[in-house]
Chains A and B, each alone.
Chain A
Amino acid sequence: MKEFSILRWLCVALLAVVLFLAGCSDPDKRRKTVQRSVGTESYTRFAKQSSRVEDLERYKAIPAGAPVGDKPWIAHVRAVDLDQDGLMDIIFCEAKHNQVNWLRQTAPEVFEEIVLAEDMRAPVHVEAEDMDGDGDLDVIVSSMSMVFPNNDLIGAVFILENQDLKTWKPHLIIDNTHRVVDARAVDFDGDGQLDLALGQFGYDQGSVSWLKRTGPWSFERFPLLELSGTCFVGVADFDHNGKQDMVALVSQQWEEIHIFLNVGQPDYHSRVIWGSTNEDYSLSGMSLGDVNQDGFMDILFTNGDGFGPNPEPGPKPWHGVQYLENLKGGQFVFRRLGDLGGAYSPVATDVDNDGDMDVVALAAFNDWKNPNSISMAWFRNDGQNQWERRILAYKPIYLMTLDVADLDGDGGKPWLITGGFHSHPPFIHQSRILLWKPELN
């Protein structure tokens, strides 16, 4: 009986050991269970750190025009050969002094500043088109009347009629309306006359409209979208149907991009093509360019507005540069290029002349207490639409507006033109108009 009992207990112990070993046969069991429980693709693909490669020698900054003065507010620069003499000029808005000015290139790389118009009520955007069909370029001015928050109906559009390159007669096109931030000329209805695309920021209320030409200097307004916060409009034939469409960048609490596809003479199909639910996303700039060079116009945009709901303007981790790739047929897909705190004014251009489109952008509202904060960067396209951020400048700071042009007419690498907008401290490293000459081969 006792022998039996010992044997029995031995068996029990053996069984326990066997069970123990059996249990240890699959050590990854628990971990695999956890991993299997999700089994979907990883979201870490969205965690991308933009590089801090310096490229400070690529451009040399050359001041142009009047001296910097005290805290200039250059709201917009546009490169255009205004006098059509074969030398590229620059027109720009000085919002604080209510001026629209012309940097005329009188000889290669020699610029003379001319005031085209005063009393332009805080102008923030200029374009040049031949509005009266007389063969010369006139200037379209968008005026907010007050750059900082205001919901009054104080916006205006002027057209400066070019009479002899010396006299620019102002025509008030619309008045007593939501603050205007962008007006561009295009023939929307195919009647041979230039109409206007109009973006009105307003404040609590605003809109996007097209203005049909009804007379030499008169237009009729047709609203397409009634939301506050439109910063920019863009015009292109996005769907290749032979008619001019519009896009609008709508900031404030909406943070959306809308497209208005012109399907008639004109009849618009409007819809939102992208948006963020982040009310502090801070949409700040937009331009059009064929980023992937597939023949269809894409939409570049930045988020980095410093005037959000914060105690003082500054960068946010989600600020950066991106574009909506036109997939043809009016469909778009979001592509992030990279981070840039306080990003503004994206422009597609071939910075390194390697045949693909790169993107340059400003960092207007970066952390200016930190001397290592980037002021201007380019995003280098490796040809496969992979992007590397390269730092072009740490100063001057508060660069708000950018354009690119072949200022020396050599057909080589593009020059950059920037405007400084110094409305917030620190009031250091100020600039007004800078021409950035390409230096590196």
Chain B
Amino acid sequence: METRTKLRVAIPLAIALVTGAFINGLYFAKKADREQQEWILSMLPAQPEEGALEGRLLYAIQGAFSQIEKGEDLVAATGRLAKIYQANGYLNEAIQTLDLLLQLEPENPLWPHLLAFLLAGYGELEPAMELWERTMELDPDYLPTQLRRAEAMLKLNRYEDAEEAFTIVKIKDIENPHAYHGLARVAIHREDYEAAHQHLSRSMQYSRGSVGIQLTVTVLERLGQHDRAEAVRGMARTLEGYSDIPDPWILDLMTYCYDAHQLVSAAGTFAYAGNTEEAIRLSELAIKYDPENAAAHFHLGNMYRDSNKPKALSAFETACRLNPQLSDAWLFRALIYKEMGSMQQCDELLRQGLINCPDSPALHLSWGERLVEMNRMEEAIPVLRRSVRLRPQEAEAYLALARIYIRQSKLDLAHDITQQALEAEAGNPTALSFMVILSINKKQENEAESWLRKVELQPRCTPKMREDLKGFFQQAFGRPPKL
């Protein structure tokens, strides 16, 4: 056949093929979309009825359903629905929707991660492990998944696997405190306390002391370093707590949350992790959804305490109005006025706070301290004693009393009350320094030296405090202390 004839046949044939395929594609795609949409709707949990849920949540769920019913971006709408369910605590519905998403979008690592987190939250670790492994295949660089899987291995008594998994995270992120903490747990299981101590030192170093402090005490005890253990125990009071694995995919769920209580909890988590901006955003969101939520206003005030005092005062004031029993809201308002030098307003708020919260140890303490500042010592003593009775386990009120007795030269009383402060909080730096000073004043050389040794071992005592106390000792006894 001639080339021209060949073209005459081939061109129409090609056009026919393309047109047929195009029309076919259009028809097929539309039909498949319709069928997929019907299938999605059949697999989703039933739509909540009007009045069954709080307005905003209901609208959000209905919005996602409506998008699916219209056939608009089916996967995205289903994904949004899953996040809304999970973020607002409708976990059975979330499981059902996420299970569907695993099929709709099997290459997206987010869905198995969210479902694994949810199932592990119920205690179902085996299926969660499967899902985290799937997430890792899809996104090998998302470290929170690897850490959560490694943690789950610890819970499943798979220490060797956990060690390998934590080590991989450590290699990828050399400053990851959770990896070191996990490795420390493996080492403790093997009773290798030296290795555990090394790992914990790193986890403490890379988390500003928030990850690993609890185990550090135990490990130091095991290593026979009782003094250091005791010192770290004291430190745990200020660095108390434990931070969960930072997991942006999980934290992003809060964007879909309409429950003020959960938003406030999440804001607290962000604040703890040092992310004030996000904490403020979530607190404001909580207030938007529940303007009468005193805890949300209180949290917001807390977030603004350092950066924006007028906003902090306004938020605390609202919190006090909504819940007058929120003693810290009164206290923090008063303290802000004190920082601003408005003592009259500070005192008035402390008085109002005590009327509304007569059993608040912190308000009694602050009022007692104000009375001391106003040189009304005899009035301050019963107020501070009340604070001690209400919260005997904390040293502050004892020490405020000790300061009064020192000023009044009642050194025996000061000694006794400082001793009580140390019983309440072993290793309190101020109490230790008081004991040094009181011993020096009483010319008790050996006792002063003994207290100075405790100061040396206490990491919360600053270098300046140590040097000053050593200087007092030298002045009093004509020689440097033997430490």
Contacts and interface: CB of A to CB of B under 8 A. Distances in A.
Interface of A: 8-9, 11-13, 15-20, 22-24, 27-31, 34-35, 37-38, 42-44, 46-49, 146, 150-152, 204-205, 226-228, 253, 256, 271-279, 281, 303, 309-312, 314, 316-318, 320, 322, 334, 336
B15 A311 contact: no
A274 B217 CA distance: 25
B258 to A, nearest CB: 15
B393 A146 contact: yes
Contacts of A19: 16-17, 20-21, 24
A46 B23 contact: no
B236 A43 contact: no
Contacts of A18: 20
A43 B95 contact: yes
B109 interface: no
A43 B103 contact: no
Contacts of B36: 30-31, 34
B12 A46 contact: no
Contacts of B12: 8-9, 11-12
Interface in B297-311: 299
A311 B152 contact: no
Contacts, number: 184
B227 interface: no
B49 to A, nearest CB: 15
A179 to B, nearest CB: 11
A204 B240 contact: yes
Contacts of B24: 19-20, 22-24
Given A150-B393, A310-B265, A43 B242 contact: no
Interface of B: 8-9, 12-13, 15-17, 19-21, 23-25, 27-28, 31-32, 35-36, 39, 89-93, 95-96, 98-99, 102-104, 106, 115, 119-125, 127-128, 131, 148, 151-152, 154-157, 188, 213-214, 217-218, 221-222, 233, 236-237, 240, 242, 244, 261, 264-265, 268-269, 295, 299, 393, 424-426
Select the residue from B15, B218, B424, B426 with max chain A CB neighbours within 10 A.
Answer: B218
Contacts of A28: 35
B268 to A, nearest CB: 7
A273 B154 CA distance: 10
B95 A38 contact: no
> Would you list the 8 A-B pairs with minimal beta carbon distance, nearest first?
A275-B155, A19-B20, A23-B24, A16-B20, A12-B16, A30-B32, A47-B92, A47-B95
Contact of B9 (A8, A43, A226, A276): A8
Contact of A309 (B96, B115, B217, B265): B265
A15 B152 CA distance: 59
Contacts of A43: 95, 98-99, 102, 115, 119, 127, 131
6 contacts: A13-B16, A151-B236, A205-B217, A226-B188, A277-B121, A312-B295
Nearest to A15: B16
Contact of B99 (A42, A49, A275): A42
Given A15-B20, A43-B127, A312-B295, A38 B103 contact: yes
Given A8-B12, A27-B35, A205-B214, A272 B295 contact: no
A13 B128 CA distance: 55
B89 A16 contact: no
A334 B269 CA distance: 30
Contacts of B95: 43-44, 46-47
A279 to B, nearest CB: 5
B92 A49 contact: yes
A48 B93 CA distance: 9
A152 B155 contact: no
Contacts of B237: 151
A48 B119 CA distance: 12
Given A12-B16, A278-B121, A34 B155 contact: no
B16 A16 contact: yes
Given A17-B20, A47-B92, A275 B154 contact: yes
B300 to A, nearest CB: 12
B264 A311 contact: yes
A34 B104 contact: yes
Contacts of A277: 120-121, 125, 128, 148, 151-152, 155
Given A19-B16, A205-B218, A34 B27 contact: no
B40 to A, nearest CB: 10
B72 to A, nearest CB: 18
Contacts of A303: 123
A12 B120 CA distance: 59
Contacts of A48: 92
A279 B241 CA distance: 12
A277 B131 CA distance: 14
Contacts of B214: 204-205, 228
Contacts of A8: 8-9, 12
A277 B119 CA distance: 10
A48 B240 CA distance: 37
Nearest to B104: A34
A147 to B, nearest CB: 11
